[in-house]
Structure 1
Amino acid sequence: MTQTAHRYIFTSESVTEGHPDKLCDQISDAVVDHFVSLEPYSTVRCECAVSGAIIFIAAHFASSITVDFTHLARKVVKEIGYDQPDFNPKSCSILTSPRAEAVDPATHFDEYTLTDVQIEAIPAKNQVTVFGYAVNESPVLMPLPIYMANKLTRRLTHARKQKILPYLMPDAKVQVGVQYERWTPKRIHSLTLEVQTRTMGKPDADTLKADLMEAVVTPVFENLPVTPDGETVVHINPNGPYLGGPLYHSGLTGRKCAVDTYGEYARHSGKALSGKDPLRVDRIGVYAARYVAKNVVAAGLASACEIMVSYATGASQPVSILVNTFGTGTQPDGELAERLRSRFDFRPAGILKRFGLRQLPGKQAGGFFQKLSANGHVGRDDMDLPWEQTDMF
Structure 2
Amino acid sequence: MKLYSNEIVFKGHPDKVCDQISDALLDAYLKDDKQSRCGIEVVGGKGIIFVTGEVTSKAKVDVEKIVKRVLRDIGYNDNYEIINNLGVQSKDIALGTNDIIGGAGDNGMMFGFATRETNKYLPKAMVILQELSMFYDELHKKDKRFLPDGKAEITGYYDEKDYLIKIKDFTICYQNTEEEREKTDKILMDEAIKIANKYNVLIENFLINPTGKFQIGGFEGDAGLTGRKIVVDSYQSFARVGGGAFSGKDPTKVDRSGAYIARKIAKEILDKNKDINTCEVQISYAIGIDKPLSINIKTDKGYIKTPTNLYDRCKVKNIIKELDLLNICYEQKAMFGHFID
Report the TM range for the smaller structure's normalisation. over 0.9
Tell me what 1:181 maps to.
159
Matched, 1:238 2:207: no
Give the 3-state SS of the residue equivalent to 1:137 in structure 2. coil
After TM superposition, what 4+ stretches of structure 1 lie above 3 angstroms from structure 2? 100-109
Matched, 1:146 2:126: yes
> Which deviations, in whole Å up to 9, do the C-alpha atoms of 1:6-45 show, x marking residues without a partner?
x111111101110000000000001100000111111111
Structure 1, unaligned stretches of length 5 or more?
A: 1-6, 83-87, 110-117, 361-367, 382-393
Whether the 8 Å contact between 2:97 and 2:288 is mirrored in structure 1 is: no
Give the 3-state SS of the residue equivalent to 1:318 in structure 2. coil
Tell me what 2:42 maps to.
48
Identical pairs, percent: 30
Tell me what 1:114 maps to.
none
Tell me what 1:300 maps to.
273
- CA drift at 1:195: 0.7
Whether the 8 Å contact between 2:96 and 2:289 is mirrored in structure 1 is: no
What amino acid is the match of 2:146? L
Tell me what 1:272 maps to.
245
Matches within 5 A, 1:132-143: 132-143=112-123
What amino acid is the match of 2:270? V
Matched, 1:190 2:159: no
Give the one of 253, 257, 278 matched to 1:284.
257
What amino acid is the match of 2:123? P
Matched, 1:261 2:238: no
Tell me what 2:333 maps to.
372
CA distance in 1, matches of 2:3, 2:309: 32
Tell me what 1:27 maps to.
21
- CA drift at 1:123: 1.4
Give the 3-state SS of the residue equivalent to 2:207 in structure 1. strand
CA distance in 1, matches of 2:98, 2:269: 33
> Which deviations, in whole Å up to 9, do the C-alpha atoms of 1:132-180 show, x marking residues without a partner?
111111221112222222221111112112x1x3311000110012211
TM-score by length of 1: 0.81
Give the 3-state SS of the residue equivalent to 1:190 in structure 2. strand
TM-score by length of 2: 0.92
Tell me what 1:357 maps to.
325
- CA drift at 1:107: 6.5
- CA drift at 1:324: 0.8
- How well do the aligned residues superpose, as a CA RMSD in angstroms? 2.0
CA distance in 2, matches of 1:150, 1:31: 24
Tell me what 1:92 maps to.
80
What amino acid is the match of 1:174? A
CA distance in 1, matches of 2:241, 2:268: 18
Tell me what 1:391 maps to.
none
Tell me what 1:203 maps to.
180
- CA drift at 1:370: 0.4
Tell me: CA distance 1:63–1:303, structure 2 relative to 1, closer, same or farther (3 Å). same
Equivalent residue pairs, number:
336
Tell me: CA distance 1:340–1:226, structure 2 relative to 1, closer, same or farther (3 Å). farther
Whether the 8 Å contact between 1:144 and 1:178 is mirrored in structure 2 is: no
Matched, 1:310 2:284: yes
What amino acid is the match of 2:152? V
What amino acid is the match of 1:208? T
Whether the 8 Å contact between 1:41 and 1:107 is mirrored in structure 2 is: no
Tell me what 2:307 maps to.
338
